[in-house]
Amino acid sequence: MTFLKARSRIWIETDEGTFLGEGTVRLLKSIEKTGSISASSKELGMSYRKAWRLIDRMNKQCQSPMVIKTSGGTSGGGSTLTESGKRVIASFEKLQKETAQFVDDKFKELNFSEKKLNDVTGLILIGGRSSRMGIDKASLYLEEESFTSMIYKKLNSLLAETFVVAGEHNATNWKQKLPVVQDKISDQGPLMGLYSGLSSSTTEWVFVTSVDTPLVSTEMIEELYNERSGYEAVIYHDSGRLHPLCGLYHRSCFNRIEETMSEGQRSMKKFVNRLKVKILDVGLNEKRLFNINTPEDYKSLQNSVHHAKD
C-alpha cells in the first residue's frame, strides 16, 4: 500500500532576500555546539566563506547580532551564539512544527485515499433538540473530539461524500466546520433528516446514523452494504429491537418517505415497514450502537473508553 505524506518548508525573507531558513538554523545550532564557524562549516559540508557570509548578513539585518566572535572553540578562533540567536532558533523551530502540523491536517482533509463505496452518501443526523441530555449532543466530546467530527471522519474515509444534517438551531454553527444540509422543516424528527439528506445526495444509496451513536464503525457500514442486493434498505437489530438510524437506504426510499409524511406519520419504524428491508443481527457490534441520550449515558461511554485503554 502506498502512503501519501505532505511536506512543508519555511523560510523568512526581508526586502534584501532570505533572512532565515532551515540551512541557516542548522548553522546557528552547530555554532552553538562547536563554538566555531570554521568547525560548523566543516560539520555541515559548507565552505567557511559561505558560512561567514550567512552569519554576517544575519547580523547586519538584526537589531542585535546572533553570533559574536570569542576566543577559543573546538577548532580555534571562536564564535558564540547570542541570546538573540537562541531565541531566533526557538521561534523558527516552533513555527516549523506548527506549520508542519497545519499542512498535515489540511492534507488529511483532502482525503486522497480511494473511496471504497463510491455509490453511498453518508448522513449524520444532528438536528434533534437533545432535551434529555440538556445540551446539544452534536457538540459532546470523546477524547478531545466532538461526536460529529468523529463520525464524519469515519464516514468520509469510506463513502463518496458525507453530510451533517442539521436543524435550524445548529446549522449555522456547523456550516463553518463541515458540509451541512439543513432540515427542510425543523423539529420533525429523524425521518425529516433522512428526507432532507436524500434530497441533497447524488448517489444510489445513503447510510444514515444519528450523532448520539459515536462508536459506529466503517466495518458495520460495509456489512450493511454487502447485503443490499434486492432490498430497499438494510438495517440492524438486536434482541428484536430495530435500529433504523444505523441503516443503508436506496434513493428510491425518497418517495416512501413522502408517502409516510403525507399521512401525518413521522415514525422511522412506520416508514421502514413500507420497505423491502433486510434486517441484520448486530451481533458483536451491539456496543457500537449504544445511544447517548442522557448525562448518565455520556458518563458511561466515557468510563468504558477509559477502561478499554487501561
pLDDT, mean of residues 133-147: 83
pLDDT reported for residue 101 = 83
pLDDT reported for residue 11 = 84
pLDDT reported for residue 3 = 45
Q: Which residues lie closer than 8 Å to 156 by C-beta, 6 or more apart?
A: 111, 122, 162
Q: Which residues lie closer than 8 Å to 92 by C-beta, 6 or more apart?
A: 10, 12, 20, 25
Does residue 146 sit in helix, strand or coil? Answer: strand
pLDDT reported for residue 149 = 93
pLDDT reported for residue 181 = 93
Strands (E), 63-111: 67-70, 78-81
Which candidate, 237, 145, 257, 143, places its Cα nearest to that of 197?
A: 257
Domains and CATH numbers, the chain: 12-110 (1.10.10.10), 117-309 (3.90.550.10)
pLDDT band at 1 (very low <50, low <70, confident <90, very high): very low
Is the pLDDT reported for residue 165 higher than 90? yes
pLDDT reported for residue 2 = 41
pLDDT reported for residue 308 = 57
pLDDT band at 100 (very low <50, low <70, confident <90, very high): confident
CA dist 103 → 20, 91, 98, 154 (Å): 20, 18, 9, 21
pLDDT in tens, 38-81: 899 888 888 999 988 888 888 888 878 889 988 654 545 588 99
pLDDT reported for residue 163 = 96
pLDDT reported for residue 73 = 47
Tell me which H or E stretch contains 59.
Answer: helix 48-61
Is the pLDDT reported for residue 140 higher than 70? yes
Q: Which three cell numbers stand for residue 113?
A: 485515499
Is the pLDDT reported for residue 236 higher than 60? yes
Mean of the per-residue pLDDT values for the chain?
Answer: 86
Buried b (16+ CB within 10 A) or exposed e, 282-298: beebeebbbebeeeebb
Tell me the pTM.
0.63
Rounded-to-integer distance, Cα 70 and Cα 51, Å: 16
pLDDT reported for residue 254 = 93
The DSSP string of 194-207 is: HHHHHHH--SSEEE
pLDDT reported for residue 136 = 78
Q: What is the DSSP letter of 74?
A: T
pLDDT in tens, 170-209: 788 888 889 999 988 888 899 999 999 999 999 999 999 9
Rounded-to-integer distance, Cα 159 and Cα 141, Å: 23
The DSSP string of 120-134 is: EEEEEE--S--TTTS
The DSSP string of 14-57 is: ETTEEEE-HHHHHHHHHHHHHS-HHHHHHHTT--HHHHHHHHHH
